[in-house]
Amino acid sequence: MRRSLLLPLLLLTLFLPAASWAQTLNGLIAGKLVGTDGAPLENISVSLKKAGTGVNTSADGSFKLKAEAGTQLLHISGLGYVTQETSVEVVAGKTTTLPTLTLAINKHELAEVKIMESRGLNQRPASVSKMPIAPLDLPQAAVTIDRQVLEQQQVLRLSDALVNVSGLYVTSATGGTQEELGSRGFAYGSNNTFKNGVRFNNGVMPEASSLERMEVLKGSAAILYGNVAAGGVLNLVTKKPQFERGGSVGLRVGSFGLWKPTVDVYGAVGKSDKVAFRLNGTFEKANSYRDEVKSDRVYVNPSLLFELTPKTTLVLEGDYLRDNRTPDFGVGAIDYNVLDSRTRFLNVPGAQYTTNQTSTTATITSRLNDAWQVRGVAGFQRYDNDQRTGNRPTGINNGTITKGGKVYPRPLMYGNWQRSLARTQAAENYYSAQLDLIGKFSTGFISHTLLLGADADQYQTNSLTYATQLYDSINVFDRSRVVASPAKRVSGFDELYAGSRALGSTRRAGFYAQDLLSLTEKIKVLAGLRWSYLETPITNYAYTAPNAKGEQTIMATEAKTRYDNAFSPRVGLVFQPIKTMSLFASYSNSFVPNTGATAFDINNKPLAPSIIDQVEVGIKNDLFKGALSANVTAYQIVNSNQIQAVLAADIPKDAPNQTSPQELAGQVTSKGVEVDVQSKPMYGVSVIAGYSYNNTAYTKSNIYENGSRLRYNPAHTANLSVFYNFSSAFGNNTFLRGLSAGFTTYYVGDKLAGRNTRTTVANDAFRLISIPNYTQFDASLGYSYERFSLRVKLANILDELSYNMHDDNSVNPIAPRNFSATASYRL
């Protein structure tokens, strides 16, 4: 009963008084910029030189900028104008209005290039870390990719953005309906993927056009988020409301019938200086390089910002995504050999994957005093999916027939495959609440940055699976070839009947504390502990086949509820020999609940969560006065109590569980190195580069060969992106100053699919499939003139062929050479 009250109690705390984080009270700077002719100047950058934050002037030349109380140095710059700096005295809780400022045209010096993000990799704290910690003080690798990079590279899907983060990769694209990600040998699921700090269901491809930035916190994040995989977490931050009016409309077109209009508008609600809004959305329709595959989707993302008091802000965000596409399990394989085709489609007619996802988030932030703040986040998500598809292309005839224990060739049977129809419906309600208290204080000579927090969430799931029915038989190489169909078959999805239903209501709660202790200016320690609690009740229902009247009987199995809890400690040491360099070492662990019908030991007791230990060491550098950031990290992750089957010889004859007992005795080890390099834009050039090496293997197993690599993880990845803005070199040249160009190259080393060989099975038929390495090369060209801009991109110029695979039955080729263009108009 007490546990069931955790979620509502946490939700109620979000309505307690609160205010935004700052060291001092804020004020507002207002002003207007004009040219020497008295005309208002639009899109001029106005920023606080110390804080680095700023805004652009609106169409009438006006601007409003929040600033901390005290003396502030205002930096004003724009293409073709002389840069100015002016001192402003900001009064807490009041608006300081400046006299009209006049900017002169710069006739002699090169025009300054406007930079959307002027902070380097090690100067941008990530909100996913939950604490206001400078990246150089964080004993963990973290990478942020901002909107400027996403726009330069014309990111359409998350997989397009992954090329900027070393060691983050696509593991598979099962059914062609989602992109499954991984890092350091561990898969990201819905537990590891967040939007604005709240988990979201990654069973559908998220919309990239709404993103302000993408944050990746590598390694263990269990102390902050509880039940997450060891590889890291991904947080997608959407665009936020602004009081300055603006926006854009755009249209993207591309190969394979891609058509994608977008809109983004923002500003104050009316003339209010307390309420601002933002609304962005898109519609997308496309065919595919895969035969018969189509997709269409609609996305809307509204948000509101309320300045409730000088100390309190509230952000309300919501989004809706409807995604329809053709499920596609790829080209298939015979005897673990990939079939030779990039376009061949093997699914049944009428296959459809339909998803509707709605989410809402409320974030309230309040400053209690100059040193303490409280932040609360409440979220709700609704996820509905209806999948109608054929079976995955597995068990395709290899051209032989067995009689009397002997194998005889039958060439005419080669490639024959019997298809069936399957349907699943899934509905999910997800509720979440977080409450964090953050403060700075000192005890003697030690400075503290303290985080105290609690969170709770609940998944309510309802999954209906229809009974699979035979449909037809085809030849995968020539679908026009006549193949005998099964005698009993259905003609369509409407003839399928319910087979089973599973109802779940997973409940989780956690309490955590973390403290950054500054022992000296050069030595810092980050330490913390989390306790997590999980309940996983599941009720299963089975349906009998319909009788002559079409009636079915429902039979419920006994409901089983698991109760798990785990501690997640973390400790890290940071040494900064100079202000622009930090050396760090850390230890942390995460946990994986062992759920499922077989997660019981020989005594029929549920297995405890598997605890995964992780050690990480690294160096972070800001070079050339912060113009270039270069970070190197090495890690080892060990799951020394992985779940595995108990060997039959080790099961006592009187054991209560004789059928499929499991034990925590296996071991998997992941080792690797990651390098991330980012530059600030300098002389018009910006660079992002990276490299990763990973080896994840069984190091202790009674099922698989020790030393054998786990599937889906590339041994090496490497990336390089270079972009150049010509205005840096050509200054006020009317034509060339709006021109930009760049390229991105991404290397994915060899990885494995198929199935690991079982050492416990004589003449085991399982085999691994080697997925070929590839290098993808993209190039882009952009041009901007006044409010208009145009970007063109040619992707996979070398027309490389490789695959994203899951086991041996979802063999999805990567996209061939393709073209896209995006035209936009700034409002």
| Complete domains list, the chain, with CATH | 3-103 (2.60.40.10), 121-238 (2.170.130.10), 246-335+347-545+565-826 (2.40.170.20)
Q: What is the pLDDT of residue 5?
A: 43
Q: What is the pLDDT of residue 19?
A: 35
**164-183 tens-digit pLDDT:** 999 999 998 888 888 899 99
Phi, psi (deg, nearest 5) at residue 140: -165, 150
Residues 287-316, mean pLDDT to the nearest whole number = 96
Does residue 430 register a pLDDT over 70?
Answer: yes
Q: What is the pLDDT of residue 79?
A: 62
Residues 278-286, mean pLDDT to the nearest whole number = 97
Task: Kindly list the distances between the CA atom of residue 186 and the CA atoms of 34, 67, 547, 719, 737, in Å, as whole numbers in the listed order.
Answer: 55, 42, 46, 20, 45
Residues 45-66, mean pLDDT to the nearest whole number = 79
Range among 31-35, 300-304, 561-565 rated most confident: 300-304
Q: How confident is the model at residue 400 (pLDDT cuts 50, 70, 90)?
A: confident
Does residue 404 register a pLDDT over 80?
Answer: no
Per-position DSSP letters for 101-146, written without gaps between them = EEEPB-SSSPPPPP-S----GGG---GGG-S---GGG-SS-EEEEE
Stretch among 176-190, 391-405, 780-794, 810-824 having the lowest mean pLDDT: 391-405
Q: What is the pLDDT of residue 760?
A: 86
Residues near 659 by beta carbon (within 8 Å), at least 6 away in sequence: none
Q: Using CA atoms, how far apart are residues 190 and 201, in angstroms rounded to an integer? A: 5
Q: What is the pLDDT of residue 284?
A: 97
Q: What is the pLDDT of residue 134?
A: 87
Q: What is the pLDDT of residue 18?
A: 36
In this predicted model, which residue has the larger pLDDT, 336 or 480?
Answer: 336
Q: What is the pLDDT of residue 119?
A: 67
What pTM was computed for the model?
Answer: 0.84
Does residue 11 register a pLDDT over 60?
Answer: no
The fraction of the chain above a pLDDT of 90, given in percent, is: 64
Q: How confident is the model at residue 321 (pLDDT cuts 50, 70, 90)?
A: very high
Phi, psi (deg, nearest 5) at residue 411: -55, -35
For residue 304, give the nearest of 295, 294, 313, 291 by alpha carbon. 313
The fraction of the chain above a pLDDT of 70, given in percent, is: 93
Q: How confident is the model at residue 110 (pLDDT cuts 50, 70, 90)?
A: very low
Residues 75-85, mean pLDDT to the nearest whole number = 78
Residues 369-378, mean pLDDT to the nearest whole number = 94
Q: How confident is the model at residue 728 (pLDDT cuts 50, 70, 90)?
A: low
Stretch among 41-45, 71-75, 172-176, 435-439 having the lowest mean pLDDT: 41-45
Does residue 24 register a pLDDT over 60?
Answer: no
Q: What is the pLDDT of residue 10?
A: 39
Does residue 111 register a pLDDT over 50?
Answer: no
Q: What is the pLDDT of residue 23?
A: 37
Task: Output 551-556 pairs: Cβ under 8 A, ≥24 positions apart.
Answer: 552/497, 552/498
* CA 704 to the chain's CA centroid: 31
Give the per-residue SS3 of 189-223.
Answer: CHHHEEECCEECCCCCCCCCCCEEEEEEEECCCHH
Does residue 133 register a pLDDT over 70?
Answer: yes
- The three-state secondary structure class of 765 is coil
Q: What is the pLDDT of residue 729?
A: 62
Does residue 6 register a pLDDT over 70?
Answer: no
Does residue 374 register a pLDDT over 70?
Answer: yes
Does residue 58 register a pLDDT over 80?
Answer: no
Residues 147-168, mean pLDDT to the nearest whole number = 93
Residues 142-149, mean pLDDT to the nearest whole number = 92
- The three-state secondary structure class of 663 is strand
Does residue 21 register a pLDDT over 90?
Answer: no
* 8 A C-beta contact, residue 721 and residue 164: yes
Q: What is the pLDDT of residue 308?
A: 95
**197-245 tens-digit pLDDT:** 999 898 899 999 999 999 999 999 999 999 898 999 999 999 999 998 9
Does residue 762 register a pLDDT over 90?
Answer: no
Stretch among 256-270, 272-286, 542-556, 573-587 having the lowest mean pLDDT: 542-556
Stretch among 590-599, 684-693, 759-768 having the lowest mean pLDDT: 590-599
State the DSSP code for 656.
S
Q: What is the pLDDT of residue 70?
A: 83
Strands 295-309 and 275-286: antiparallel
Q: What is the separation, in whole angstroms, between the first and last Cα of the chain?
A: 54
Residues 307-323, mean pLDDT to the nearest whole number = 95
Residues 749-758, mean pLDDT to the nearest whole number = 93
Q: What is the pLDDT of residue 239?
A: 95
Report the chain's mean pLDDT, rounded to a whole number.
Answer: 89
Does residue 333 register a pLDDT over 80?
Answer: yes
Does residue 732 register a pLDDT over 80?
Answer: no
Residues near 530 by beta carbon (within 8 Å), at least 6 away in sequence: 222, 223, 224, 226, 510, 511, 512, 513, 567, 568, 569
Residues 750-775, mean pLDDT to the nearest whole number = 92
Does residue 344 register a pLDDT over 70?
Answer: yes
- The three-state secondary structure class of 256 is helix
Q: What is the pLDDT of residue 409?
A: 78
Q: How confident is the model at residue 118 (pLDDT cuts 50, 70, 90)?
A: low
- Decide: residue 716, CB within 10 A, 0-12 exposed, 13-18 middle, 19+ buried: middle
Does residue 462 register a pLDDT over 90?
Answer: yes
